[in-house]
Chain A
Amino acid sequence: MATETLIWLLPLPPLLAFFLIVLFTNKSKTLSHSLAIGAALLSFLGSMLVFARALATPEFGREVFASSINWIPTGDTFLKIGVLIDPLSAIVLFFVAITVLMIFIYSVGYHNYGQPAGDHDRAGLQPHGATVTDESGHKRMVLSVEPMYSRFFAFIGLFAFGMYTLVVSDSLLTLFVGWEIMGLCSYLLIGFWYGKPSARAAAIKAFMTTRVGDVFMLLGIAFLYSATGTLTYREIFTQQTLQALASTPTGIFGLSAAGLIALLLFIGTVGKSAQWPLHIWLPDAMEGPTPVSAMIHAATMVSAGVYTVIRMFPLLTADFTGHGLTATMSVIAFIGTFTAIFAATIALAQRDIKKVLAYSTISQLGFMLAAIGMGAYIAAVFHLVTHAFFKALLFLGSGSVIHGMEHGVFHTGNHHLDPQDMFNMGGLKNKMPITFWTFLIGGFSLAGFPLLTAGFWSKDEILADAFAHGHWAILITLAIAALMTAFYTMRQITLTFLGEPRTKEAEHAQETPWTMTLPLAALAVFAVGFGWLGIPEHFPGLGGLLPNWIHEFVGGTLAERPEVLAFSWIPLLTSLVVALGGLLLGWAVYKNVEAGQPDPLEKPLGFLYPFLQNKWYFDEFYQYFVVQPVIWFSEVFSSQWLDKLVIDGALHFIGRSALAIGDVFRNKFDKPVINEFIGDGTATVFQKAGHELRLLQTGRIQNYMISAVALMIVLGAILIYVLA
């Protein structure tokens, strides 16, 4: 098959699976998950084939796989729909395909496939467990299968379709279509257990918050279209168009058209990639099932946001001269850097195993955006890919831990225990070895454990870029954020897996089935190995052993390849110190936490601790300064004043006027003229006429005969004298 045709087909299997499951197979769990996984596997194989062909193409980047057809006629031109695989989308496609497939497989185990149906499970609520009786007659509780199993696979199929569409599309328009499909799916999936009020609220929050960003993004797209007449990347990213955009002033904050468009598109990313100040939806998105968290946080949605900004890099840097960041780039760098440290501080004080990961995701996405803001294109892509692998691994690992803990909960029957609270865990290392080792790999990768893990190489690259271009503030902030990252990661690992079990439930935790551990193992390979593809050439000892493939490959996307950075000890030492220091510190502080003991950080941090634990009170801030005013506005202004008083008043006035006019017509015209004169009058005339004329009907046959004869004589006379 031609590569272009193959690329066109990539997004379709998951979509097909979605429709088939929804329409036909939703009764059968086995059939539904087979369909979904089969579709994911097809797309995966197709993606790998495309990726392999991309690797085999010499000078890939100058040569790309692209094809497009006319789609929507706009006057005398067409909006085109098309596909494009260049090095950037190829590498994104690579990790998306792998993580999506792994998440699909993992979902089978996560939703307890093969377990009995629950005793009183209802659709829209988490499974509560089922009672089984074993051979010796003992009754015990086991995990029960998800009641809406098939629906879940349908949704994640649609989600995968959205992501594939976004990656293979060659224009902002189709990218936006995929973007919004994912927005819808994240809403559906976060609210998957819609019976829980918190899940419903989280779903709405995610949808509304990302919508804020999307509106700006759509504005950016519209602006771009009106300025250039096209939305196709390769037509926008020509020297000519970029120059024109960069030299058009807009009069808004002194930005050029290129800068303003990039800024608007970036706000879309802020929403989608959960950057400050639109980060609030992502931690709440943990209400969804864990594979959803992994889908949203690693493989798809949040990556999509960063991917879009990376995609728009040429536009972003159109008026970048190489000296001093442009306003737009500064904004991106600032928000990225601030988010990186801001989210890291919150992660320090969270107790929920998934919440820690959620904030670490926000923080790591901040790293990427900071990198893009500095113009460190390769580093951003590199971190995007490695992060996708290790974060998917960590989320799936945390799901596995929660699953193991739920086993313990069913064993003891203490359903008040929160199986997600890390302070209830401990010592799971021996109970869940595969989960432990893979989680350790993911965690060390996130923390940037030197030399071995992928996270080290990509994070180091960002710091090196910050150093090389002299962005000291960014460098220091990111270094502190990295230190915190290592610290809270080790805190998480120590609290969860090391030491002694702090609860009975943790003692009875169990390793999860192979459908869950297999994806963990597969992702762990990438969480380590992928970093080795991007070792800088001038790195002492290791540099040059493996070619810096990432740099070569991804760099080909841009018109001019980014220069290779000179090696320097300072960022390397910084990376080493913060990673190892953070890990050690985290282990030292948390190794001896006893059951029921408060967080050891609580005392030394003082009032800061509740501040961090409550996420800098951002939710409350938005509640008081955004949600409440909006509710007040809608209730008092819109509903009571505008709607009830003004609009209803106007409507009532029109209604009453019409009624009065109608009354006049009825009494002055309809009744006297139409009814009495025309209607009744005509009837009376005819009635009277009929009354008189009926005398003609005598009923005597001879009378009729006389009239007939008379008429005949008259007619005969006419015939003879007139017509003749």
Chain B
Amino acid sequence: MVPLSAYLFLSAVLFSLGLYGALARKNAIAILLGVELMLNAVNINLVSFWRYGETAQMAGQVFAVIVFAVAAAEVAVGLALIINIYRRRNNINADEIDLMKW
């Protein structure tokens, strides 16, 4: 059987990839993708801890489902924002979206 550490390793790799994507990419959609990757890495974590821990306790699974729902909602809102910005400025480069600057 595949050990728990393998799943955790996969999850850590995915999270790091996502974090890197969110921090380093300029394209707003790519940032959003990075965030999604991080969320899913967390999901793998949750599900594997559930599988290797008390299987009778449903908390891990339930939490993962909630994260799906939140992620879906977040993507919907995030994409809507990006579309709006694109319509106004013809551009979705995150560096240039700096209206909130001092």
Residue numbers of A with Cβ under 8 A of B are 694-695, 697-702, 705-706, 709
Mask of B62-102 contacts with A, CB within 8 angstroms, 1/0: 00000000000000000000000000000000110111111
**What is the CA–CA distance of A695 and B102 in the complex, to the nearest angstrom?**
7
Point out the residue from B19, B22, B23, B98 that lies within 8 Å of A698, measured CB to CB.
Answer: B98
A697 touches B102 (CB 8 A): yes
Beta-carbon contact of B102 and A709 below 8 Å: no
Interface centre among A695, A702, A706, A709 (most CB of B within 10 A): A702
Tell whether, in the assembled complex, residue A698 and residue B97 are in contact, meaning their CB atoms are under 8 Å apart. no
Instruction: State whether the Cβ of B31 lies closer than 8 Å to any Cβ in chain A.
Output: yes
Residue count of chain B within 8 Å CB distance of chain A? 13
* Contact, CB under 8 Å: A697 / B100: yes
A706→B100 CA distance, assembly (Å): 17
**B residues less than 8 Å from A700 (CB atoms):** 94-95, 98, 101
Bound complex: CA A701 to CA B30 (Å): 13
Further contacts, 5 of them, CB under 8 A, given A699-B97, A705-B23: A697-B102, A698-B101, A701-B31, A701-B94, A702-B24
> Which chain A residues border B19 with CB–CB below 8 Å?
709
B102 A705 Cβ-Cβ under 8 A: no
Which of B31, B95, B102 has the most C-beta atoms of chain A within 10 angstroms of its own C-beta?
Answer: B102
Chain A residues with Cβ below 8 Å from B94 are: 700-702
Write 15 A-B pairs (CB below 8 A) sorted by A numbering: A694-B102, A697-B100, A697-B101, A697-B102, A698-B98, A698-B101, A700-B94, A700-B101, A702-B23, A702-B24, A702-B94, A702-B95, A705-B23, A706-B23, A709-B19
| Residues on the A chain within 8 Å of B24, using CB | 702
Measured between alpha carbons, how far is A694 from B100 in the docked complex, in Å?
A: 11
> Shortest CB–CB separation between residue A699 and chain B, in angstroms?
3
Q: How far apart sit A705 and B23, CA to CA, in the bound complex (Å)?
A: 7
Q: How far is the CB of B71 from chain A (nearest CB, A)?
A: 17
Closest B residue to A697 by beta carbon equals: B102
Residues of B within 8 A of A (CB): 19, 22-24, 31, 94-95, 97-102
Chain B minimum-CB-distance residue to A704: B100
Chain B residues contacting A699 (CB-CB under 8 Å) are: 97-102
Complex CA gap A701/B26 in Å reads 10
Select from chain A the residue with minimum beta-carbon distance to B100.
A699
Which residues from B are CB-within-8-Å of A695? 102
Residues of the B chain whose Cβ atoms lie less than 8 Å from the Cβ of A698: 98, 101-102
Which chain A residues border B102 with CB–CB below 8 Å?
A: 694-695, 697-699
A694 proximity list for chain B (CB < 8 A) = 102
In the bound complex, how far is the Cα of B99 from the Cα of A580, in angstroms? 123
- Residues in B whose Cβ lies below 8 Å from that of A697: 100-102
When distances are taken between beta carbons in the complex, the residues of chain A under 8 Å from B100 are 697, 699
| List of A residues within 8 angstroms of B31 by Cβ | 701-702
Min CB distance, A366 to chain B, in Å? 103
**Smallest Cβ-Cβ distance to A693: which chain B residue:** B102
CA–CA, A702 to B21, complex, Å? 11
Closest Cβ neighbor of A699 among chain B residues: B101
Alpha-carbon distance between A709 and B98 when the two chains are bound, in angstroms: 20
CB closest residue in chain B, given A702: B23
Ranked nearest first, the 3 interchain pairs of A and B with the lowest CB-CB distance are A699-B101, A699-B98, A694-B102
- A342–B31 Cα distance when bound, in Å, is 122
With a CB–CB cut-off of 8 A, which chain B residues contact A705?
22-23
Q: In the complex, what residues of B have CB within 8 A of residue A702's CB?
A: 22-24, 31, 94-95
Q: How many Å lie between the Cα of A21 and that of B16 in the bound state? A: 97
Give the nearest-CB partner of B99 in chain A.
A699
Complex CA–CA separation, A702 to B101 (angstroms): 13
A709 to B22, CA, bound (A): 11
Q: How far is the CA of A698 from the CA of B97 in the complex (A)?
A: 10
Closest to B96 in A: A700
Contact B101 A701 (CB under 8 A): no
Docked Cα-Cα span, A697 to B98, in Å, equals 10
Q: Tell me, rounded to whole Å, the shortest Cβ–Cβ distance linking A73 to chain B.
A: 75
* Least Cβ–Cβ distance between B23 and chain A, in angstroms: 6
Q: How far is the CA of A177 from the CA of B31 in the complex (A)?
A: 96
> Which A residue's beta carbon lies closest to that of B97?
A701
- A682 shortest CB reach to chain B, Å: 22
The listed residue with most B CB atoms (<10 A of its CB), out of A701, A706, A709, is A701
* B95 to chain A: closest residue by CB: A700
Task: Tell me the bound Cα distance from A701 to B24 in angstroms.
Answer: 11
Q: Given the complex, which residues of A lie within 8 Å of B98, measured CB to CB? A: 698-700
- Which B residues are CB-close (under 8 A) to A706? 23
